[in-house]
Structure 1
Amino acid sequence: MTALGVVFRPQLPPERLREVVRAAEESNLDELWLWEDCFYQSGIASMSAALAWSSRLRVGVGILPLPLRNVALTAMEATTLVRMFPDRVVLGVGHGAQDWMGQAGVRPESPLTLMREQLTALHALLRGERVTTSGRYVRLEEVALDWPPPSPPKIFVGAEGERSLRLSGELADGTVLHASHGPAAVRRARDHIDEGRAAAGRTDHHELVVYMHTTTGPDAQARLEREKEIWGDEPGPELGAAGDAGAVAEAALRLVDAGADRVILQHAADEPDLEGLVRFTAEQVRELVPPVR
């Protein structure tokens, strides 16, 4: 089934989250996604609150920057959430913006090496294994979770470059693509992911999460073009969605046809009514995007 969601961007004050979660829960939105952008909000703290304020809503974080985190702590936080809120946690990790990592004093010389080491250790810890490793960035000695999850959660990776996409295909269960990916870029990303999967001999389904710039209202198209300009995206009709439910659903289906399993509507910086966008997605767009997967 194709999942539809909305992102709560951390540029909004944390105290706004509760009302957005309430709107998502009441309208039966599939998923609400969060970001851990520096230096706004904690992804795990926000995720914990959103899960506690809801009873059925799936909550994703896409992504947690790996360089900021010791892998043992990430595993501890992930298993805590998975055990308390089974089947409602979607965990995404990634390189993080390198300038921000530099500001925090954790910018790695080799982001790919760090990601490989962290993903390998994180998977093992969440499988309940006892891990000893001495890598370039990850060093653990006899570390095991006392409360491992009953079954290990899927791990999604935020990736963009060809090598990162191949690594995601090799080691992750899914990939998160930012909103600068239109259908053609999604297809190219899927090709690189499949190269990594083939090299690793993986045959399981690799889920693809794609964010999509979305604006509504009478000035939707102008707002969409301003938003794309802010992000440095090329103008054009293939990227993002503006207008009514039909227009948004049509744009989402183009991403689904390109390989997306989950389409997450990304509101503009000037979005005046995020709760309204949440309800619009759940109550109007959802019925126009059939469960093709």
Structure 2
Amino acid sequence: MTSTAGPQLGVAFVPNQPPERLRSFAQAADAAGLDELWVWEDCFKESGIATATAALAFTERIRVGVGLLPVPLRNVALVAMEIATLDRLFPGRFVAGVGHGVQEWMAQVGARVESPMTLLREYAVALRRLLAGEEVTMDGRYVRLDRVRLDWPPNRPPALMLGGAGPKSLELAGRLGDGTLLGAALGDDQVESACRIITAAAEAGSASGAGPHKIVATQIAATGPGAQRRVDAELPRWGQVAGLGIAIAGDARVFAASIRRLAEVGVTSVVIQPTEDEPDLEGLIHFLGSEVRPLLAADQ
């Protein structure tokens, strides 16, 4: 399973950083020539839509994605309105991802559902139809709409990304989405296994036909002095232990080699996630654009 084109290179603005750091971060990513900037909607830190909107306004060309909007927390009609508005304001630059959300957080706000899979399935179908400009009536287990139609749908329905972790969620994402967002802190074998499930489902599925299925993988990474120490300290925050080859620590050649391995198993976009204690966020972004990206471009 090999991707036919070189992977896109992006960076994540993780909400362990205060919102006021976003402007310089986003502008640095734009100036560095990176393909994508991903923001998160983690409870109870920062709004994904508000952050993405600001990042789009702060920049000129970089694509901005939300990974991901938790569907139990957000009414599907509201999300459709938000996606459509951003797509028309910034054509081709906004990428929306939706998923189950962290179940513990959903319980904290009274939004947890008995069947997250059923909710995501109903939600993805309704959201796609709304973004296509259809009038939608649905009486599902969780999603209920009565003759809802957007006044200002996207001029062209944008790709719909779904997030997933377990095999059933990955299969659903591959079948119903135009792309899949993988979780952070996954090893190469875990990514390869996920890609196989997603690709098989996408080939047999009923997505909108917006091109080849996209797979976005996030890699915790650090460069410079103390890089290995910093990624080793970061991994336990994501349920992983050091020494298993997860995350990237090293120079540009180490980064490029890791990104190439992911592309070879089917990943189409690699998003670099800085460690929480990254001492120079803009410096890391400049490194990605000036040193790592040229190595990847040389492969194409």
Instruction: Verify: 1:38 aligned to 2:37, yes or no.
Output: no
Query: Of residues 231, 238, 250 in structure 1, which corresponds to 2:257?
Result: 250
Deviations 1:70-114 (A, max 9, x none): 000000000000001011111111110000000111001100000
120-129 or 174-183, larger mean C-alpha shift: 174-183
Q: Aligned residues: percent identity?
A: 50
Amino acid at match of 1:212: Q
Q: For residues 292 and 123 of structure 1, what CA distance do their matches in structure 2 show?
A: 35
Amino acid at match of 1:22: Q
Shift of 1:220: 0.6
Q: For residues 187 and 139 of structure 1, what CA distance do their matches in structure 2 show?
A: 36
Q: Secondary structure at the match of 2:202?
A: helix
Q: For residues 74 and 291 of structure 1, what CA distance do their matches in structure 2 show?
A: 39
Instruction: Verify: 1:240 aligned to 2:242, yes or no.
Output: no
**1:114–1:137: 8 Å Cα contact kept in structure 2?**
yes
Instruction: Verify: 1:265 aligned to 2:272, yes or no.
Output: yes
What's the C-alpha RMSD, in Å, of the aligned pairs? 1.5
**2:181–2:217: 8 Å Cα contact kept in structure 1?**
yes
Instruction: Verify: 1:100 aligned to 2:112, yes or no.
Output: no
TM-score normalized by the length of structure 1:
0.96
**Matches for 1:62-73 after TM superposition, within 5 Å:** 62-73=67-78
Q: For residues 64 and 291 of structure 1, what CA distance do their matches in structure 2 show?
A: 35
Q: For residues 190 and 53 of structure 1, what CA distance do their matches in structure 2 show?
A: 33
**1:60–1:90: 8 Å Cα contact kept in structure 2?**
yes
**1:218–1:243: 8 Å Cα contact kept in structure 2?**
no
**2:133–2:153: 8 Å Cα contact kept in structure 1?**
yes
**1:179–1:240: 8 Å Cα contact kept in structure 2?**
no
Q: Secondary structure at the match of 1:118?
A: helix
Structure 2 unpaired stretches of 5+: 1-5
Shift of 1:247: 1.1
Shift of 1:238: 3.0
Instruction: Verify: 1:185 aligned to 2:197, yes or no.
Output: no
**2:184–2:217: 8 Å Cα contact kept in structure 1?**
yes
Q: Secondary structure at the match of 1:67?
A: coil
237-246 or 98-107, larger mean C-alpha shift: 237-246
Amino acid at match of 2:235: K
Residue 235 of structure 2: aligned partner:
228
Residue 134 of structure 2: aligned partner:
129
**1:133–1:141: 8 Å Cα contact kept in structure 2?**
yes
Question: How many residues are matched?
Answer: 293
Shift of 1:162: 0.5
**1:56–1:88: 8 Å Cα contact kept in structure 2?**
yes
Residue 213 of structure 2: aligned partner:
206
Instruction: Verify: 1:14 aligned to 2:3, yes or no.
Output: no
TM-score normalized by the length of structure 2:
0.94
Amino acid at match of 2:26: V
Q: 1:184 to 1:13 in 2, by over 3 A?
A: same
**2:35–2:63: 8 Å Cα contact kept in structure 1?**
yes
**2:184–2:238: 8 Å Cα contact kept in structure 1?**
no
Shift of 1:175: 0.5
**1:182–1:255: 8 Å Cα contact kept in structure 2?**
no
Instruction: Verify: 1:150 aligned to 2:155, yes or no.
Output: yes
Shift of 1:198: 4.2
Query: Of residues 80, 84, 89 in structure 2, which corresponds to 1:79?
Result: 84
**Matches for 1:102-117 after TM superposition, within 5 Å:** 102-117=107-122
Q: For residues 234 and 194 of structure 2, what CA distance do their matches in structure 1 show?
A: 23
